[in-house]
Amino acid sequence: MMHFVIMSARHGRRRPAYSGRWEAARLSPVILAVLIIGLAFSTPREIAISRLLPAAPALAAAMWPVFPTIVLGAFCFLAMIILSFFYTDLGTQYTAAAIIAVTLAAAYGSHVRLQREEILFHVRLVADAAQKVLLRPLPRRIDDVEIESLYLAAQEQARIGGDFYEAIGTPHGIRLLIGDVRGKGLSAVGAASAVISCFREAAYDEPDLRAIIHRLETTITRHSAAFPAHDQPEHFATALLAEIPHGGGRVRILNCGHPPPLIAHGGKVRVLEPTVASAPLNLAALIGDRYWVDVVAFAPGDRLLLYTDGVSETRNHDGQFFPLAEWMRQQDLEQPRELLDQLHGDLLRHSGGRLDDDIAALALRCAGAPERGAMGVEG
């Protein structure tokens, strides 16, 4: 099945729409060849500009397929022969031999580059499929709550990492998870996958957020023992669970060492710091397994932003963190998708277009009727 998906994508993919600047860059080998030939005819023969002609097919190898590269080399070779009719002392045989040698080497280099690009394309297809399993598309609306997600990999070619999130409609209400496995590479991805898989089952089965956390704790402990990482003896992860009961009105939050979410309520933005800190996943044996749940009002029109530390710890060139709370106070965007799109752009501008860590965020907006309930902390 995976092979069929890869082959279908391979034969059905479209060439990207290159910008005008990129199109000009792709024509640069031809421009270089024409420029060298023009200078060779217009400058004194003592300068011997024609000796630079092998540079044109060499440049073509970096961006052209094999056949056009050979055609450009043949064009340069023909131009050198024509030049020899006008200037007999240019060392035509040496330059022509250099053009042939460089063209053959450039054609081989172009072939190798295309093979590597094809391999990269297949790898990215597999990574895309893995990401859709790990971070599957979320429903845009559950009950009366609108939900949107954002994921940005720190590395340009990366697709998946240790950040994770999920949102599920259950008989107990809407349950959400966001977290970050400490570490890099496939070991972090494996731990994140184990946590998400456990949450997808426990969210339906367990009536209480604390019971879900206990199951997540057991899962990551077992995974860490079964698949130890080379760079660290054990995995651990920060995580935040949230539950919005049917009918809305409030949100229950259980924060296990994760960055505190932001809520826009009544025209003000609050940072929802946990009343009592709870241990990150797989650290309960060291610092205790008591978990506390905070209850916060979540009325129609309120917005909730959950995020990983890649958002709040994005730095600019001066080393200053992204001012997330202040940024949130300046936003008057109602729709979660618009809010995350604005966050995406502002993070890239703040960091100069380069991210140092993976980024994940969930934006929610309550659009239902309010349900009044007690607010505070559940011990």
CA–CA separation, 107 and 307 (whole Å)? 48
The two tokens of residue 334 are 């109602």
CA–CA separation, 91 and 106 (whole Å)? 22
In a domain, 379, yes or no: no
- Under DSSP, is residue 207 helix (H, G, I), strand (E, B) or coil? coil
Cβ contact 257:241 at 8 Å: no
* Claim to verify: residue 229 and residue 316 sit in the same structural domain: yes
pLDDT at 236: 83
Angle, nearest 10°, between helix axes 28-42 and 66-86? 0
- What is the DSSP pairing of strand 173-181 with strand 262-265? unpaired
* Claim to verify: residue 286 and residue 345 sit in the same structural domain: yes
pLDDT at 7: 38
* Claim to verify: residue 254 and residue 220 sit in the same structural domain: yes
CA–CA separation, 104 and 130 (whole Å)? 39
In a domain, 81, yes or no: yes
Q: What is the DSSP string of 66-98?
A: HHHHHHHHHHHHHHHHHHHHH-TTS-HHHHHHH
* Claim to verify: residue 291 and residue 349 sit in the same structural domain: yes
Please give the single-letter amino acid code of residue 140.
R
The two tokens of residue 210 are 């604390």
Mean pLDDT per 10-residue segment, the chain (379 residues): 36 43 77 89 80 91 92 92 80 87 94 90 70 77 92 64 88 93 75 90 92 92 77 75 90 94 88 90 79 92 92 87 91 87 91 81 81 53
Place of tokens 């009002």: 297
CA–CA separation, 64 and 27 (whole Å)? 9
* Claim to verify: residue 87 and residue 160 sit in the same structural domain: no
Q: Determine the structural domain holding residue 37 and report its residue range.
A: 24-125
pLDDT at 152: 82
CA–CA separation, 310 and 330 (whole Å)? 20
CA–CA separation, 237 and 378 (whole Å)? 23
State the total domains in the chain: 2
